Structure 1
Amino acid sequence: MMSKLSFKALEAFHTVMRTGSTTAAASELGLTQPAVSRLLASFESYVGFALFHREHGRLVATDEAHTLLNEADVAMGSLERLNLLAHNIKNTSIGSLKVVAPVSFAAGILADIIADFMKQYPNVTITLDSRSPDSTRELVAHRAFDCGFIQLPERHPGITAEPLFTSQMMCALHCEHPLAQQHQRLTPTDLAEQPLILLGKGRTSRGQIEHAFRQHNLTLRPRIDTHNVATACAFAMRQLGIAIVNGALAQQYQGDELVLLPFTPTIPIEYGFITSQHAPLSLLNQRFMNFCKERLANKNHAHE
């Protein structure tokens, strides 16, 4: 027996058995008839016994050939499935992604993007989780998640960050609030006597808001401190104050009762797509990142 089975010899045997002749098999395989005959001889040498004999010039399969055909069918079917799977993986129509993002980001912008991505790639499964920024960095860096979304700049040594889009700080207030009727933009002076709702201390954007107030010789005294945009907007809708929040994340809560007005001076907020530096991007992860970039490239979250 041959030490190694040739795929082409197996394919030739399978095709001859299916078509009934070396001539038909040669046509289907794009080979010459002598080439198919040589492949059959090679396959017979591999198995160690004759698989065909001729009767009146016609090739006839032996009983042993018919016995082998079932396994040949299985083998060729497996190879076809392998080829299809490789094609699907290459074209990102199959696979799974684990994604992590802030709560407000996941519920708004990201929910729309994921919905459209899964319509285009229905065989992809996605696990979406929400964590704190510090936890998000560590989980992505250590590959517990395939990718994440986070506010830039990002300096974690185990993370690669790709910029996605830039938003700005906005003021969220009830539609019946006097300032909602009188202004197109709000400054620290406009807000000086207003009860304010702010996201927790320690955030970069919080420090920038405090700096803007100091530039106007004003002290920032929030009425309510909270830790996510959804809660801040909920309080603003209940007329407990004016929330200064990330416009891109607050956009989903804007409606009949809640108005968003730009905060001046402009405080930009850049978001990025993060992945681990410890492994190359999978084809699916690369495709998802590009999809996010395309969807967000021309989107204006500044609410001019």
Structure 2
Amino acid sequence: MNLRQIELLRAVVRCETTVRAAQELGLSQPAVSNAIKHLESQIGFPLFERVNNRLFPTAEARSLYKDSEPIFALHAAFEGKVQDIKENRAGHIRIIATPPLGYGVLPSALRNYLAKRPKVRVSFDVRRFEHVIESVENGTAELGFVMGLDDDRGLACETFFTGDMVCVMRPDHPLAAKPTITPEDLRDVPYIALEQGTRMGTIVRNAFAQAGAPFRFSVEVRYCNTACVLVESGVGVAVVDPLSPVFSGHYDLAIRPFSPASEVRASAVRSRKRPISRAAEAFLREVRLVAAETATKLAAPELSARYSTSKCHP
């Protein structure tokens, strides 16, 4: 099975009809239909079940589709590199981050970076943790930025910020009068939880378990940024990473330390197989500077956070 055949298979799986697959590939419908039949004859087993002019992929076809994802991710990265060379850009870096960093530290670092290097082009995306790690692994992103990395996943990583989770609430909320918030304080108030199974969600649940307090919530969300929006709207209070409420300047929130202290780290990840470019290294330096400035802000009397830079491996 060659790359063109795999591309055709993937198009038909996505589109479910040869007509739409043909439109996507710029081919005629008979050409796609004949190609699928030829492919099935060549490999010796059916790839689709045909029902009412629609094609339903077999388990084998779905498995091939899933396993072909890395191939086309690498192909997309290669095409992107060719385009960069063709356009003779002064520099081009591809970065990707999870929401707490993508909506916080990175925009500030990117502003400073581009002010000094206006000819550099940046591809920037904000995705879920798993997608960030995958993009760095397969080369579609040069640098990834994540919160709560608990292992290096075979990647080179640098922790550029370490702090403790904080509790956020509206300034007029009764809990805003307390210097520190504990799980027991959250027992009888509407609470916005971070989704179970996520890294931030697990950190907070462990803190409740450590304090021996019941974990109850009114609303569950995936991202700390979403929790901050709901808190400002008066839905309840939340425990989030220390960066999200600080960088979301439009939020009118009271921020208080959360006890027991629940540490969270912000890390930059890169492939061990490919050295990052000079342009990417320069951007990483800007990220470190913004993180250091943020740590100073978080060291104010009403907040406690710790900052450090370290390598995951010596």
TM-score (norm 2): 0.63
Alignment partners' CA distance in 2, 1:261 and 1:96 = 40
Aligned alpha-carbon RMSD (Å): 1.9
Match of 1:156 in 2: 153
Partner SS for 1:299? helix
Shift of the 256–249 alpha-carbon distance from structure 1 to 2, 3 Å rule, reads closer
- 1:174 equivalent in alignment to 2:170: yes
Q: Report the Cα offset of residue 256 of structure 1.
A: 7.2
Which structure: larger Rg? 1
Partner amino acid, structure 2, of 1:188: P
Partner SS for 1:222? coil
- 1:196 equivalent in alignment to 2:195: no
Kept after mapping to 2: 8 A contact 1:113/1:295: yes
TM-score (norm 1): 0.65
Match runs of 1:67-78 below 5 Å? none
Alignment partners' CA distance in 2, 1:210 and 1:113 = 31
Match of 2:141 in 1: 145
Which of 81, 85, 91 is the matching residue for 1:95? Answer: 91
Match of 1:45 in 2: none
Which of 265, 268, 281 is the matching residue for 1:270? Answer: 265
Alignment partners' CA distance in 2, 1:98 and 1:258 = 33
Partner amino acid, structure 1, of 2:207: A
Match of 1:75 in 2: none
Alignment partners' CA distance in 1, 2:249 and 2:189 = 20
Match runs of 1:1-304 below 5 Å? 94-151=90-147, 152-157=149-154, 159-180=155-176, 182-253=177-248, 257-300=252-295, 301=298, 303-304=303-304
Kept after mapping to 2: 8 A contact 1:188/1:213: yes
Alignment partners' CA distance in 2, 1:210 and 1:268 = 13
Match of 1:69 in 2: none
Kept after mapping to 1: 8 A contact 2:207/2:262: no
Alignment partners' CA distance in 2, 1:94 and 1:200 = 42
Structure 2 gap ranges (5+):
1-88, 305-314
Partner amino acid, structure 1, of 2:164: Q
Alignment partners' CA distance in 2, 1:256 and 1:198 = 18
Shift of the 254–172 alpha-carbon distance from structure 1 to 2, 3 Å rule, reads farther
Partner amino acid, structure 2, of 1:155: D
Partner amino acid, structure 2, of 1:238: S
Kept after mapping to 2: 8 A contact 1:172/1:244: yes
Q: Report the Cα offset of residue 115 of structure 1.
A: 0.3
Kept after mapping to 2: 8 A contact 1:168/1:267: yes
Q: Report the Cα offset of residue 251 of structure 1.
A: 1.2
Structure 1 gap ranges (5+):
1-92
Post-superposition CA distance 1:104-158 (Å, at most 9, x none): 322222101100000011111111101111111111111101111012233312x
Alignment partners' CA distance in 2, 1:238 and 1:295 = 29
Kept after mapping to 2: 8 A contact 1:254/1:260: no
Kept after mapping to 2: 8 A contact 1:163/1:271: yes
Alignment partners' CA distance in 2, 1:155 and 1:97 = 22
Alignment partners' CA distance in 2, 1:114 and 1:160 = 22
Match of 1:52 in 2: none
Shift of the 116–254 alpha-carbon distance from structure 1 to 2, 3 Å rule, reads closer
Post-superposition CA distance 1:208-247 (Å, at most 9, x none): 3223222333210111101112211111112111011111
Kept after mapping to 1: 8 A contact 2:105/2:287: no
Partner SS for 2:141? coil
Kept after mapping to 2: 8 A contact 1:154/1:161: no
Shift of the 117–144 alpha-carbon distance from structure 1 to 2, 3 Å rule, reads same
